[in-house]
Structure formats: structure tokens, C-alpha cells
């Protein structure tokens, strides 16, 4: 029995990564990777879409959070390991792939044809909405906190001292790096716990705290979330909600609150193992529960 064969008995977020997969992961965290542009997880033997990434082939084709992928290029992927399914969706930019989609409310599966592309994940985008600053974070890579800080500085200068507050849009944000989630939360907080990670043993618990300095100068903040808000973006939402630093608006988030530790294996790639779970400052687990908004607002998705 090989290591690769043994690991699928663990949760779907744990896996052996060969040298190629390990390299792909490193590229992803730097903010650029190849593919169709969807964050996925495994559920009931099918691939479930956490969210499409802004501006990617999947997003342009109308793939939605909660969609399930039953087949790739006409081949059923029921029971296939998650990494194998992901590999089948990858390919050279310009090549085509067809996904068979199961969607709640649709009676029959349907096919979506996609043209693969290099996916660029922007750290942040922003714009002025009257006297309110709007900032969109589509993911959490190495550029995210820096992008947020630059966006806020730009909005302060553009709107001036009359700025009333900020909207932080984390809808369909599939998450990413823990340290970036902590830094983004810290950017809005002056003190207090941001998140804790709790493992099998109590001595494994780690707590991360905010430092003095609020880049918005204490202005009101609204955070937008939905069912595609997951992982790192749930850490930010939970921290700002528990500290009553922001009003959370939208629908309940995805509930991906597990921590993956990556163990490098040199030229053999690496191991990605689930080792802990995320807890908000008030002690609530994010896993499978998500963040409940302060104000629930349903959004029609075209």
C-alpha cells in the first residue's frame, strides 16, 4: 500500500502532493496559477464548488458556489480522489474542458464548456461609492493584506476626511493563507484575539492577537459574505463580528474551518494534512457551521 493510496481515508483536505502538485500549490499562494478558476472541496463523493474566482473562465461561464461537478470531459468522477479530479481540470491555457454540473433547482445535469487560462488572483480592488470606500478581496494570497492597505490609503486620499466608512466584500472568497487572514483582521482591530487554532491536544492550541493600529481610523465597516465565503475570509468575518468591529451582511458562509499543515518532502513533493480547526474569538468553531450574518440579505445570482 503506497502513501498516496493510504491518505484518502483521511478528510478530503488531506493529501499527498507529488512534486508537480506541490509546485502548483506554491504558485497558487503567490497569486497566480493555471486552470479554470474554481476553489473546490469533496462532498459525498462529488466535487463541490466553494466558489469561482473573480474574472476566471469558471466565473464567466456562470459556475456557482454550491454547484457539484459530476463529470469531466464526459467521464464520471464519482469516488475519484479530490486531487485526481483537480488534475483532470488542469491543462494548458487555451485548451478546453467540459464539466458536468449538478445544481440545486435544476432537474438534470448540464454541461459547461470552459477554455483553460492562466488565472491571476488580484490582491484587492477598490472604488469610491459616494463618501464610502468599497474594497473587494477575491482571495487570500501573499499579496492580500498589502493590497488592502494600499486600497484603503487610496480611498482615504480620494474621498478625503469626509469618508463615512468602508464596505469589505468577501463574497465568493474561497480563502487561502492564514497569516494573511490574521493581518487583514489586524488591519481593522487595535487589540484582542483574531483567531485560535485547536488541534487534538490542548497544548497544540495557538492564539493570534491583533496589534494597535486601525488603518481605517475606527470608521464603520460592513463586511459582505455569502455561501462562497470560506476559510480565511471566514476568519476575518468572525473576528470583526465577535469584536463588534463590523456589521456582517449577506448569507451564512461556507463553513470551511480546518487547518492544513504542509510538510515538505524535498524532491518528492509534500504532505498536506488537516491538523486543527479554526475558532473565532468567542470560541465558535467555523467548521461546517460558518459565520451567520448580523443582517441576512439574499442576493439573486443570475
Q: Looking at the predicted structure, is the pLDDT value of residue 267 above 70?
A: yes
Give the per-residue pLDDT at 252.
97
| Sign of the torsion formed by the C-alpha atoms of 90, 92, 94 and 97 | negative
- For 226, the grid coordinates are 455569502
State the first-to-last Cα distance of the chain, in angstroms, to the nearest integer: 47
Least confident range from 127-136, 155-164, 267-276: namely: 267-276
**Residue 50 pLDDT level (bands cut at 50, 70, 90):** confident
What are the cell numbers at 87?
488534475
- pLDDT tens for each residue of 72-109: 999 998 888 888 888 889 888 899 999 999 999 999 99
So what's the pLDDT on residue 288?
85
242 is catalytic: yes
Calculate ∠ Cα 108-173-241, nearest 5°.
120
Model pTM score: 0.71
The one catalytic residue among 14, 186, 242, 258: 242
Alpha helices in 177-228 (DSSP H): 178-188
Is pLDDT at 302 greater than 50 in this prediction?
no
Does 1 have pLDDT greater than 50? Answer: no
Mean pLDDT of 168-195: 95
20 pLDDT above the threshold of 90: no
- Which of the pair, 214 or 119, is modelled with greater confidence? 214
Buried b (16+ CB within 10 A) or exposed e, 160-181: eeebeebbbbbbbbbbbbbebb
pLDDT tens sequence across 118-158: 876 666 889 999 999 999 998 898 889 999 999 999 999 99
- Residue 272's pLDDT is what? 86
Active site residue 96: no
CA atoms within 13 A on the CB side of 99: 29
What confidence score (pLDDT) does residue 17 get? 80
Task: Please give the share of the chain, as a percent, with pLDDT higher than 90.
Answer: 59
Under the banding of pLDDT at 50, 70 and 90, the label for residue 9 is low
pLDDT for res 291: 97
- A 10 A CB-CB count for 124 gives 23
pLDDT, mean of residues 217-243 = 97
More confident residue, 200 or 45: 200
pLDDT exceeds 90 at position 300: no
Asked if the model's pLDDT at residue 208 lies above 50, the reply is yes
**Is the pLDDT reported for residue 57 higher than 90?**
yes
Q: Which of 169, 253, 256, 258 is catalytic?
A: 256
pLDDT band at 31 (very low <50, low <70, confident <90, very high): low
Does the annotation count 150 as an active-site position?
A: no
Q: Exactly one of 15, 65, 185, 231 is catalytic; which is it?
A: 231
Amino acid at each position: 500500500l503506497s502513501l498516496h493510496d493510504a491518505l484518502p481515508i483521511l478528510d478530503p483536505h488531506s493529501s499527498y502532493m507529488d512534486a508537480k502538485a506541490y509546485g502548483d500549490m506554491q504558485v497558487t499562494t503567490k497569486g497566480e496559477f493555471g486552470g479554470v478558476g474554481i476553489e473546490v472541496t469533496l462532498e459525498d463523493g462529488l466535487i463541490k464548488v466553494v466558489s469561482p474566482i473573480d474574472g476566471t473562465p469558471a466565473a464567466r461561464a456562470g459556475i456557482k458556489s454550491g454547484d457539484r461537478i459530476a463529470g469531466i470531459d464526459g467521464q464520471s468522477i464519482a469516488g475519484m480522489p479530490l486531487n485526481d479530479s483537480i488534475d483532470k481540470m488542469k491543462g494548458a491555457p487555451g485548451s478546453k474542458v467540459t464539466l458536468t454540473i449538478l445544481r440545486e433547482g435544476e432537474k438534470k445535469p448540464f454541461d459547461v464548456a470552459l477554455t483553460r487560462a492562466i488565472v491571476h488572483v488580484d490582491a484587492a480592488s477598490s472604488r469610491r461609492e459616494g463618501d464610502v470606500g468599497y474594497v473587494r478581496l477575491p482571495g487570500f494570497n501573499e499579496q492580500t493584506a498589502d493590497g488592502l492597505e494600499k486600497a484603503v490609503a487610496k480611498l482615504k486620499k480620494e474621498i478625503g476626511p469626509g469618508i463615512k466608512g468602508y464596505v469589505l466584500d468577501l463574497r465568493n472568497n474561497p480563502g487561502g493563507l492564514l497569516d494573511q487572514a490574521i493581518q487583514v483582521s489586524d488591519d481593522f482591530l487595535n487589540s484582542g484575539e483574531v483567531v485560535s487554532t485547536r488541534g487534538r491536544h490542548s497544548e497544540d492550541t495557538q492564539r493570534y492577537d491583533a496589534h494597535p493600529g486601525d488603518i481605517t481610523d475606527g470608521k464603520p465597516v460592513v463586511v459582505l459574505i455569502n455561501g462562497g465565503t470560506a476559510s480565511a475570509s471566514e476568519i476575518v468575518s468572525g473576528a470583526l463580528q465577535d469584536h463588534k468591529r463590523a456589521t456582517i451582511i449577506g448569507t451564512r458562509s461556507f463553513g470551511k474551518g480546518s487547518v492544513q499543515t504542509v510538510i515538505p518532502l524535498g524532491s518528492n513533493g509534500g504532505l498536506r494534512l488537516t491538523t486543527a480547526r479554526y475558532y473565532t474569538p468567542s470560541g465558535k468553531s467555523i467548521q461546517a457551521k460558518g459565520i451567520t450574518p448580523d443582517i441576512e440579505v439574499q442576493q439573486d445570482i443570475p
